[in-house]
Structure 1
Amino acid sequence: MNASMTKASPWWTPGVHADRRPFLLGRNAIQAALRGFFASADFIEVDTATLQRSPGNEAHLHAFATEALTTDGQAAAFYLHTSPEFACKKLLAAGEQRIACFSHVYRNRERGPLHHPEFTMLEWYRVGEGYEQLMADCVAILRLAAATVGAGRLTYRGAECDPFAEPERLSVAAAFERHAGIDLLSSVAPDGQTNRESLAAELRRVGMRVAQDDGWADMFSRVLVEKIEPHLGFGRPTVLDEYPVSEAALARPSARDPRVAERFELYACGVELANGFGELTNADEQRRRFEIEMAEKARIYGETYPLDEDFLDALSVMPEASGIALGFDRLAMLATGASRIEQVLWAPVAEFGA
């Protein structure tokens, strides 16, 4: 029986569940192994609240809104969090040094083979350690996940990646040059400001379309999705490093080049698995970046989310740290060979919409 989700054969149908069960048991084994990995490295596992006054302030993240009622019926707006990041950083401000959490998170407007409205994010943070250590963590985690389920390769829809091979580390600028023939940083000023016309000229030069209302970020994302990501994480994992600062709202600028940030993403089999930062701890700069993100969200989607003032206050006492978010369900998929995210979710969200 086909294990994919259909209205005729929901996930709780015994035959469908029987097909899914090996993937689910693999998921459980990997989660247990990762808990052991973090405990052995002196991490404290934390659990953060799902309900937040702000769900995050990135332009293209969409939250589920709700409201909380007092005993006398007064309402306050709340959201299901899109990440435990703000709460985790408050814990760093409180004095924790190494923390990790498996958190159910919620993102609206997302559903597909690799996306689900509710999914599990694995996040971990290291105080006083550089973001290169997170890259080493990722290598260890990929290898542990594969070894736990007896997989020699990570796989996704015919693609393979050897988690035991040394990862490729590639800057975003180098990836744009290699895979698209585009000089990305020629459109980024020393202070991180971007030049829309300069990047548009680069896209046109290599034959890519540019819409009249495209902003710099729109064009950046198009090149990344169409030209770069299809080449990442095949044969061996790829660490895509040094994003332009305008594409790293929560990361600090690189000491090597202020045009780029200490942000990387991990890819395997063409699938984005993790997003890591050297954390920004300047509250004024963080507020400025959030305001830019919300202005962009208003321009594109006609809505904004409130800033988490409590989080901005916490940044003023948060120590230097690095942190990362990894899509745990995707990791389970690649290690077990699942082709859709629902195969590694014990009880998927019901289908909705046309």
Structure 2
Amino acid sequence: STGQPAYRLSVGDAFLTHAGIDLTASCRADGPPDREALASAARAGGYRVADDDDWSDLFSRILVQSVEPVLGMGRPTILYDYPIHEAALARPCPHDARLAERFELYACGVELANGFGELTDADTQRARFEAAMMERRRRYGANSVYPLDEDFLAALQDMPPASGCALGFDRLVMLAVGAPHIEDVIWTPHP
């Protein structure tokens, strides 16, 4: 531990700094993100772009290749303000509806925790689920779509404001003991 407080970095600033890409220019508050804008920026930055890559594929590729490996070096880093399309259950940010109240905590280039403010608006959540189902159907066919979880959507109507955070304990142990691979610390028997 360095004794320093965690460094805070928005996803948009992380993409600009570490990948040279203006990610937020491709984000939309309503409707799907602009795949072509991100694909063009990715190509210009030297990233591989396949014809069947969607916006999320490109986002993940750039994040994994150029952003995550440098996060949390020297002190923990909190990456926050994720694009709304990468936070299916999170509230929109009050300062920018293209972004979500989601964060991840990194140390030594490893994601340790993921948290977000819970979306409790059932109508908005339904619209997100329906959009995700349409995309799944488009990519993988009609058999890939499941019914909406109506019980979950009904429960949202009575849910107070909430948030949560999940810690990857195996990842934390891996870093604490200096293990090179997570498989070295998993607590289940190996075949």
Length-normalised TM-score, structure 1: 0.50
- Report the identity percentage: 62
- Shift in Å at residue 165 of structure 1? 2.3
Q: 1:334 to 1:285 in 2, by over 3 A?
A: same
The structure whose residues are more often helix, as a share, is 2
Indicate if the aligned counterparts of 2:29 and 2:84 stay in contact, CA closer than 8 A. no
Distance, in Å, in 2 between the alignment partners of 1:336 and 1:230 is 19
Length-normalised TM-score, structure 2: 0.89
Partner of 2:94: 255
Aligned to 2:42, the other structure's residue is in SS state: helix
- Shift in Å at residue 337 of structure 1? 2.4
Q: Are residue 197 (structure 1) and residue 24 (structure 2) matched?
A: no
Distance, in Å, in 2 between the alignment partners of 1:203 and 1:339 is 30
Runs of 5+ consecutive residues of structure 1 not aligned to the other structure: 1-161
Distance, in Å, in 2 between the alignment partners of 1:332 and 1:300 is 37
Distance, in Å, in 2 between the alignment partners of 1:284 and 1:187 is 24
Q: Are residue 324 (structure 1) and residue 158 (structure 2) matched?
A: no
Distance, in Å, in 1 between the alignment partners of 2:183 and 2:60 is 26
Partner of 2:110: 271
Deviations 1:36-91 (A, max 9, x none): xxxxxxxxxxxxxxxxxxxxxxxxxxxxxxxxxxxxxxxxxxxxxxxxxxxxxxxx
The one-letter code of the counterpart of 2:100 is: A
State how 1:57-96 maps to structure 2 within 5 Å. Answer: none
Q: 1:196 to 1:337 in 2, by over 3 A?
A: same
Q: Which has the larger radius of gyration?
A: 1
Distance, in Å, in 1 between the alignment partners of 2:146 and 2:178 is 37
Aligned to 1:207, the other structure's residue is in SS state: coil
Distance, in Å, in 2 between the alignment partners of 1:291 and 1:263 is 21
Partner of 1:210: 49
Runs of 5+ consecutive residues of structure 2 not aligned to the other structure: none
Indicate if the aligned counterparts of 1:253 and 1:260 stay in contact, CA closer than 8 A. yes
Residues matched between the structures, number: 189
Partner of 2:154: 313
Q: Are residue 341 (structure 1) and residue 182 (structure 2) matched?
A: yes
Distance, in Å, in 2 between the alignment partners of 1:346 and 1:212 is 40
Q: Which has the higher contact order (CA 8 A, sep 6+)?
A: 1
Distance, in Å, in 2 between the alignment partners of 1:269 and 1:277 is 22
Partner of 2:131: 292
Indicate if the aligned counterparts of 1:231 and 1:270 stay in contact, CA closer than 8 A. yes
- Shift in Å at residue 317 of structure 1? 0.3
Q: 1:192 to 1:170 in 2, by over 3 A?
A: farther
Distance, in Å, in 1 between the alignment partners of 2:133 and 2:30 is 20
Aligned to 1:261, the other structure's residue is in SS state: strand
